[in-house]
Structure 1
Amino acid sequence: MRLKFCYIFLLLSCAIWKVEAAKYLFLVAGQSNSVGKGNASLAPAVMPGVAYEYVYQADSLRPLIDPVGANELDFESASSGSAWPAFADTFYQLTGDTIVLVPASRGGSSCHEKAELDNYGTWAVSGRLFNNALRKVEAAMKKTGLPLSGIIWLQGERDANAINSGKLAQAAYERSLKELIVRFRTAMHASTPFFIVKTGYYNNHPRAGFDQVRASQDHVAKQMDSVYIAFEGTNLFINSGLMTDEIHYNQEGLNKVGDSLAFKVANKLGITEQNLPKTGALQIKGIDEFKLRKGAANFFKKARERKKLRVGYIGGSITQADKGYRKQTTELLKVLLPNNELVELTAGIPGTDADLGACRLADQLLSKQPDLVFIEFAANGGFPQGMEGIIRQIKKTDPQIDICLIYAATVGQLKAYQEGTILTHIAKIEQLADHYQLPSVHMALYLAWMVQQEKLIAKGDAGNKLGKPIFTEDGVHPLPIGGNLYAAAIVRMFRAALELFLSGKEAAPDLPSALYVDNWEQAQWISPQEGAIFSDDWKEIPTTGKLQQFGVWFPTVMTADQAGASCTIRFEGDAVGLFDIGGPEVGQLKVTLDGREVQLLVDKGVRYNVVSEGQTVLNRFNINCNNRYRGQFFMLQTSLGKHEVTFSIDKIIPDKREILGADQLDDITAHPEKYAHAQIYIGKILVKGDILDEPSMLKIAFPSHRTM
């Protein structure tokens, strides 16, 4: 079946955005599972022009995006995710037709008035829901000029509970359902199709009432013309992991309902399945969500040939975070490739750019032989020379390793997508993607559009009661919902890449010449003991206690706290630096290059140039060092050639109170002794080039030895 993957929530639509006149209008009615209690970030991405929802209060059509619905006319918006994006998306894939949905559902509502509970409402004559649904659908028909194509009904749990409690008989419920259909048809059209999703079970509650409701739904469908059971497998959801709680379907379950509904509705309406062209990428304001280029042929070829695949991720804190996108992407790829075992390789370090990425790539990732590498540095700068260095290192290590460039975004960066522009640094990375024919994904494009359509809160408190999903709390790091949306964008690209691979049109390109002669292809990191000469004031200590978190990067560090304690590095290249640790006690460094004490000025990020007037020290204490320990680094950029650089601890302790600012003075005020030091911790020597073992070019006699 062409859409065999539709039943799995990860296989989200890749339909090309195009504005079309809507052709079908559906009323969606019922109670809470019709409203939707799922997760919007796991619902399919419905492309603009594919489907709309009608909002009564604004008398407007809006793109259909979860949370579908509005709190109006006693009806409710989805708490997050619903079945309706999956329904609309699959219906479009089947038919090529655009639809309008009229959401008219209320949680806890009953079909029979005897089952009505508190103020949840009823669809019986005594309640307001039926008349309000008519008001809404009639307004939608007037707005669109479309007739009502059908009614989709998800309701019955409330009546089943009433049957279980002895307040309602099965026959009475069955009559009320028939009468409801007749009332709709009397008001609309005598043969309006009525599609029933059979009621599921309430976990840990008696099933007798639910079985009676399900049986009555079957009876009604058999006895009345154009009444259909559109989905009946909801009773299996409890034992299939498709529930979010005891009674509500989770997003995977809702997607399954929506997909199945689309097939049934299209079939019963007599719509001929279309041979739609191969799907492309979501496009917003002229920006494609992804570009395949040569795709990921090597990765899929390996998936055919062997079971185990290694998927590597390198980037900053968004990559390091377990719910930033990485783990979700791995899980979705596992579903895309069910016959393979995927091993996840993680190389995320917070607050770092592609310069450190290029230095640590070989040790942290390439040594583990990945088959696929995701590179995520856009949120932290992603400067092109560093990115090209990473790309070339990977391809020179093994040309069969596939690479995917992915672009995260801060809240401030979302605006560029909403305006139809790509940030300059991402545009430069895209030039690299073109040059090396690598697939790339704008992970934030769809969620930027969701924010613009007021379906997603860009930044907010995760515990809010606003009824909309939230991308991030701090403006940078995605909450799990944001990570899900990122991962979904990646897997939309990989689904298209798999189709390209299966078509046999994909070919791996040769490694072209470099775009940037100063790229970071030769970057590496080296242990301090192998890469530097230390004065006697330094000692090697294990990364335990307060430094325990850094053990994953380096088992020991070199440390000193005496003024004048020095570390000398001889190298051939054009950049050198240190990967060190920040904390309350750290101080600052003097820099001597080729025998001359130098002053420095930041170029970009933490890359420094030598200047005639600038900083006389490299301060390793910053605003993030308030009672915290954090990995940090810097790079000193030089002319290309052989150099000798010495970093020595300055005798002056920086003004740490001023650096911390008024909002972070509690700890330094309570514990000033922690901050009254100038300690330095060195975890790695960074070099863009090679470490030299030859004697000092300057004939300097060092009063120390290489510490082991």
Structure 2
Amino acid sequence: MEIHREKRLQMRRGLPHFQRKMLDHEPIVAFLGGSITEGAGASDADVTSWRALTEKYLKERLGEDRATCINAGVGGTNSTFGAHRLQEHVLQKGAIDLLFVEFSVNDDTDRDESIRGMEGIVRQCQRLSPHTDICFLYTAADKNLSGAVPFNIAVHEEVASYYDIPSISFAAEIYDLIRTGHTRWEALSSDGIHPNDEGHALYADYVTAFLEGIEPGNDVAKNRTIPKLPPMIESNYAFATMRDAREVESFEGFQISQLEAEPLMNWRFDTEHLLTSAAEASLRFTVDGQSAGICILCGPDTGIFEYALDDGAFQPVNLFDDWCTMAYRPVILMFPIQKERKNITITIRNTSRKDDRSTGTGLRIMKLFLN
């Protein structure tokens, strides 16, 4: 299926709340996404990234002191991670007016999990910041520049269409430039994913062109929030939160630690975590919900651990990969989703085993995921 112009920008309900806030208020805009939103590939993430350029545009248009922007981009994170960190990284200080969401490149081929994440973000906003306008963004990558609507973008569009949310496909715009001979993807991105300054500038142009069409006003015909609809998937992450690891009910053989003087990537926040390298060290926490997970700082010395739900058998987990040899980074593990909401007790137990590439049997649990 070829991408047509109407597939690149879907206005749908538009941004009615943001329009009203532009009149005589101070709108708060948040950018939730992965490394491209954080600014990877740009020569200066806080100056030349698409996010920074969009923030510059908003402040020039509305006034330096009138627009507040929140950078909630975190490299390597998908919509599952985004749904769980939405409250801490975006909504912690209160309601926001406009939320850009960018996870199409990082979401994998699991359709249901992608919907759980994107729908969870939307439904959390409905509950906790009901007037927030949302816009989905689809960035370019080697995997989505074939001319067909890529799987990941198509899945996100299912959610956008269902909830009447505007969307902008950067990927479709870039593909059109390539197809018509105006540029080469290699000229915009050295690794096939992260745009350079020129690529970031193009992304910012697409967003600002969209925002240019949003005029301040109080159009009663558009004065409506995201429709309150039945969920697309009952097990979505509408109640997802991220808690500090010290909030576990009990632990033995772990100590509270910080990651100091170590290579760290994809995380610019506090690194407090529960640390062990001892076999049989264990911890336990309980979730009243439908799903749970943990966020681990994986790195050169990460070993193999086990988990058990309620009284079930322990399942081994080896999260070590090639990235672990280079630096520590947050990696999430979601446990099997339950058929209904209930109390779930999770037990984590370290082992004396490790991947052949690892230098140790370390286990660093940084966050608990609850839904």
Aligned residue number for residue 149 of structure 1 = none
Pairing partner for 1:506 from 198, 218, 222:
222
Equivalent pair of 1:318/1:477 in contact (CA under 8 Å): yes
Determine the structure 2 residue equivalent to 1:453: 180
**Compared with structure 1, are the counterparts of its residues 566 and 630 closer, same or farther at alpha carbon in structure 2 (3 Å cutoff)?**
same
Tell me which residue corresponds to 1:630: 329
Q: Using the alignment, how far apart are the partners of 1:558 and 1:410 within structure 2?
A: 36
Pick the aligned partner of 2:74 from 349, 352, 362: 349
Letter of the 1:652 partner, please give it. Answer: R
Equivalent residue for 1:290?
9
The match for 1:411 is 142
Cα contact 2:119–2:237 (8 A) shared by 1: yes
Q: Which amino acid aligns with 1:386?
A: G
Superposed, 1:462-481 pairs within 5 Å as 470-481=187-198
Matched, 1:515 2:240: no
- In the TM superposition, residue 506 of structure 1 has moved relative to its aligned partner by 2.3
Using the aligned pairs only, state the percent identity. Answer: 25
The answer as to 2:352 corresponding to 1:647 is no
1:569-648 correspondence to structure 2 within 5 Å: 569-599=285-315, 617-639=316-338, 640=340, 641-648=342-349
Counterpart of 1:685? 368
Question: 1:568–1:644: 8 Å Cα contact kept in structure 2?
Answer: yes
**C-alpha offsets along residues 415-434 of structure 1, whole Å, 9 cap, x if unaligned?**
1xx3xx32233223223222
Query: Alpha-carbon deviation of 1:455?
Result: 1.9
2:159 to 432, 439, 458: 432
Structure 1 residues 621 and 647, CA, compared in 2 at 3 Å: closer, same or farther? Answer: same
Contact 2:32 2:71 (8 Å CA) reproduced: yes
Give the match for residue 153 of structure 1: none
Kindly indicate whether residue 232 of structure 2 is the aligned counterpart of residue 531 of structure 1. Answer: no
Cα deviation for residue 567 of structure 1 reads: 1.8
Change beyond 3 A, Cα 1:598–1:648: closer
How do 1:657-676 residues align onto structure 2 when only pairs under 5 Å count? 675-676=358-359
Give yes or no for contact 1:526–1:686 (8 Å, CA) kept in 2.
Answer: yes
2:101 maps to 375
Q: Contact 2:246/2:273 (CA < 8 Å) preserved in 1?
A: no
1:58-77 → structure 2 map (5 Å cutoff):
none
Q: Deviations over 1:629-666 (max 9, x none)?
A: 2121111123233222211112112111xxxxxxxxxx
Does the residue aligned with 1:380 lie in a helix, a strand or coil? coil
Q: Is the 8 A contact 2:264 2:329 kept in 1?
A: no
List aligned pairs for 1:219-298, cutoff 5 A. 285=4, 287-298=6-17
What is the CA distance between 1:348 and its match in structure 2? 1.5
Superimposed CA distance per residue, residues 40-59 of structure 1 (whole angstroms, 9 cap, x where no aligned partner):
xxxxxxxxxxxxxxxxxxxx
Offset at residue 363 of structure 1 (A): 0.9
Distance 1:578 1:284, change over 3 A: closer
Deviation at 1:408, TM superposition (A): 0.9
Q: Is the 8 A contact 2:145 2:175 kept in 1?
A: yes
**Offset of residue 405 of structure 1:** 0.9
Cα contact 1:334–1:341 (8 A) shared by 2 = yes
Q: Tell me how large the CA RMSD over aligned residues is.
A: 2.3
- Residue 208 of structure 2 corresponds to which residue in structure 1? 491
Q: TM-score, normalised by structure 1?
A: 0.48
Structure with max Cα Rg: 1
Q: List per-residue Cα deviations over 1:103-122 (Å, max 9, x = no partner).
A: xxxxxxxxxxxxxxxxxxxx
Cα drift, residue 356 of structure 1: 1.1
**Alpha carbons 1:289, 1:489 under 8 Å: kept:** no
Hey, which of these two has a bigger chunk of helix by percent?
A: 1
Instruction: Note if 1:316 corresponds to 2:15.
Output: no
Consecutive unaligned residues in structure 2, runs of 5 or more? 40-44, 109-113
Instruction: For 1:629 and 1:437, locate their aligned partners in 2 and report how far apart those are by CA, in whole Å.
Output: 39
The 1:354/1:550 distance shift into structure 2, 3 A limit, reads: closer
Q: Which has the higher contact order (CA 8 A, sep 6+)?
A: 2
The question of whether the paired residues in 1 share the 8 Å contact of 2:262 and 2:327 is answered with: no
Cα deviation 1:216-254 (Å, max 9, x = unaligned): xxxxxxxxxxxxxxxxxxxxxxxxxxxxxxxxxxxxxxx
**Aligned twin of 1:393:** 124
Give, as a single letter, the amino acid of the residue that structure 2 aligns with 1:359.
Answer: H
| Contact 1:290 1:439 (8 Å CA) reproduced | yes
Q: Could you tell me how far 1:305 is from its partner in structure 2?
A: 2.3
CA contact (8 A) 2:104 2:153 kept: yes
Q: Structure 2: how far apart are the matches of 1:542 and 1:644?
A: 26
Q: Helix, strand or coil for the counterpart of 1:648?
A: strand
CA deviation after TM superposition for structure 1 residue 590, in Å: 1.3
Separation in 1, partners of 2:303, 2:9? 45
- Give yes or no for contact 1:292–1:497 (8 Å, CA) kept in 2: no
Q: Cα deviation per residue 1:599-646 (whole Å; 9 max; x = unaligned)?
A: 4xxxxxxxxxxxxxxxxx211321101131212111112323322221
The aligned amino acid for 1:527 is D
User: Structure 1: 5+ residue runs without aligned partners?
Assistant: 1-282, 460-469, 600-616, 657-674, 689-708
CA distance in 1, matches of 2:353, 2:58: 53
Q: Are 1:326 and 2:51 matched, yes or no? A: yes
> 1-side partners of 2:30 and 2:234: how far apart?
26
Distance change (3 Å), C-alpha of 1:626 and 1:534: same
Q: Distance in 2 between matches of 1:651 and 1:295?
A: 54
| TM superposition shift of 1:549 | 6.8
Distance 1:548 1:476, change over 3 A: closer
Alpha-carbon distance in structure 2 between the residues aligned to 1:364 and 1:413:
28
The number of residues matched between the two structures is: 354
TM-score, normalised by the number of residues in structure 2? 0.88
